[in-house]
Amino acid sequence: MAKVVVVTSGKGGVGKTTSTAALGAALAQNGEKVVVVDFDVGLRNLDLVMGSERRVVFDMINVIQGDAKLQQALIRDKRLDNLSLLPASQTRDKDALTGEGVARVVAELREKFDWVLCDSPAGIERGATLAMHHADIAIVVTNPEVSSVRDSDRIIGLLDSKTAKAERGERIEKHLLLTRYDAARAARGDMLKVGDVLDILSIPLLGIIPESQEVLRASNIGSPVTLSAPTSPPGRAYAEAVRRLRGEALEVIVPAERVGLVSRLFGRKVA
Amino acid sequence: MNVVTPPRTKIRVRGRSFMAFVLAPEPPLGIWLRDLDAQIARSPGFFEARPVIIDLAAFTGGEPGTDTLLTDLEQRGISVIDVENAGAVPGTDPWRRPLIGGRNAGDIDAADNKYAATPTETSLLLAEPVRSGQSVQFSKGDLTIIGSVASGAEVLARGSIHIYGTLRGRAIAGALGGPKARIFCRRLEAELVAIDGFYLTADDMDQAMRGRAVQIRLDGDALVISPLG
């Protein structure tokens, strides 16, 4: 039975697209058939982060409007042949995304894949609500900052009321993915603590992704960090998050609470 | 928070009540308006798109400024929908206006439907956290929440409000006039608390009470926060 996952946040720039790519690739490394779907019509980025931008011919809007078959729009990853991308349109506007069309595409993807990862646009408007509507599982990407936490809280409220599952009276499974976690800043106390974020959002923690140059580098070379640097701290953190997503009970280790004096001094120097 | 209503074969017409705030200006109006400005500055957006009724009981006629009061209030973003006790003040007819503006208070989900089914219910229990952007209003009695009220969320009740979690947003008790209503919470981190129209913003709260389990009650016209237990 395929699982539809929405990667969402409310706030922009917290790492939804990067996380979608990294989690999708890590799931595929585990042998699952995965498709990552870009819902950010007009501001598509997932193709760049996946390194598939030169191979985009058709996009989701073409499929919805009947100009192309789903099979024609899907782009198979060059590194992992059980990983595919369904790109968004860069030229159309959001209104081309219809509720009925999205329902049809998602239903078709469910038949072909084990995991359908939907990369939601920022905001709480149409694009975001359509991306979350058919999801079975939501991954709420949050930075340890007050504004991001509040926006995530708002999104969780919408997940509990606007999704197809909620409308049927069922509960959508929700997970928190804490990204851009800066151990040096946490040690100085100028960032929200993991415990505080969990207390406010009260949903289970899927993983903590440390802030890292490796993530930036991965995006620029068009490769998910779990493929380009699987042994780096963020690469390992995403791989562990995927093991939890697949149902493994794996303890989350909070990086900052183990920071010693040396790295604290180092952190000050950097700042 | 849309509630999808299935199509019905019969058309039902139901009564619907909503809450309006009553604002009672006092002469001299110049000073009262200055106080109001200070209040609004401390809590921007408090009156935003809320229907407000003006109570002119304190006026005996002839006080300066009543003729421009409506414009003065509207300039501050207060949407006046009606006036009461205006016997002594001439020319208030234009104040009574058809109900435009105001704000849809937002639907309350399943829990609200439950009380609609049992109209005798005098308390409402929510077993979930109230998320940012959500507004829960209960116009019949006490409201109990098992969970936290997030920053940017709002809970309103005719009676008292009990929160078995952290109050980070706004809680408004005694919202239809109830000086005996109280607010209880396991941990106080509120943006605003109000009882019977008297309110206190985060900046005005006793900082020693923040982060603690407290109860809030009205003593005369002052809100008193005291630790629980």
Name the packing angle between helices A213-220 and A233-245 (round to 10°): 80
Report the C-alpha gap between A36 and A74 in whole angstroms.
Answer: 10
In terms of C-beta density within 10 A (0-12 exposed, 13-18 middle, 19 or more buried), how is residue B212 classed? middle
DSSP A134-179: T-SEEEEEE-SSHHHHHHHHHHHHHHHHHSHHHHTT---EEEEEEE
Report the C-alpha gap between A9 and B161 in whole angstroms.
Answer: 30
Task: Confirm or reject contact between B168 and chain A (CB < 8 A).
Answer: yes
ipTM exceeding 0.95?
no
- Taking an 8 Å cut-off on Cβ atoms, the answer to whether B166 and A202 are in contact is no
Q: Which of A157, A162, A200 sits opposite B134 (nearest CB)?
A: A157
pLDDT of A162-194, one tens digit each?
999 999 999 999 999 999 998 788 778 788 889
Report the C-alpha gap between A60 and A100 in whole angstroms.
Answer: 13
Residue B19 is predicted with a pLDDT of 65
Which amino acid would we find at residue A243? R
Mean pLDDT of chain A: 90
CA distance A231 to chain B (A): 37
- Taking an 8 Å cut-off on Cβ atoms, the answer to whether B152 and A162 are in contact is no
- Taking an 8 Å cut-off on Cβ atoms, the answer to whether B2 and A161 are in contact is yes
Tell me the mean pLDDT in the region B5-12. Answer: 48
Residue B189 is predicted with a pLDDT of 95
Range list of β-strands (E), chain A? 3-8, 34-38, 75-76, 83-86, 115-119, 137-142, 173-181, 205-210
Does B94 have pLDDT greater than 50? yes
Helix residue spans in chain B (DSSP H): 29-42, 69-75, 110-117
Select the more confidently predicted residue: A204 or A267: A204
**Could you count the other beta carbons within 10 Å of the beta carbon of residue A45?**
21
Report the C-alpha gap between B179 and A43 in whole angstroms.
Answer: 53
Report the C-alpha gap between A105 and A151 in whole angstroms.
Answer: 28
Report the C-alpha gap between B207 and B55 in whole angstroms.
Answer: 34
Residue B97 is predicted with a pLDDT of 66
Residue A258 is predicted with a pLDDT of 44
Report the C-alpha gap between A106 and A110 in whole angstroms.
Answer: 6
Range list of β-strands (E), B8-68? 21-23, 51-55
Residue B11 is predicted with a pLDDT of 53
Report the C-alpha gap between A216 and A239 in whole angstroms.
Answer: 17
pLDDT of A121-140, one tens digit each?
999 999 999 999 999 999 99
- Taking an 8 Å cut-off on Cβ atoms, the answer to whether A167 and B151 are in contact is no
Mean pLDDT of chain B: 81
Best B131, B148, B166 member to test A by mutation, with max A CBs in 10 Å, is B131
- Could you give the 3-state DSSP secondary structure of residue B144? strand
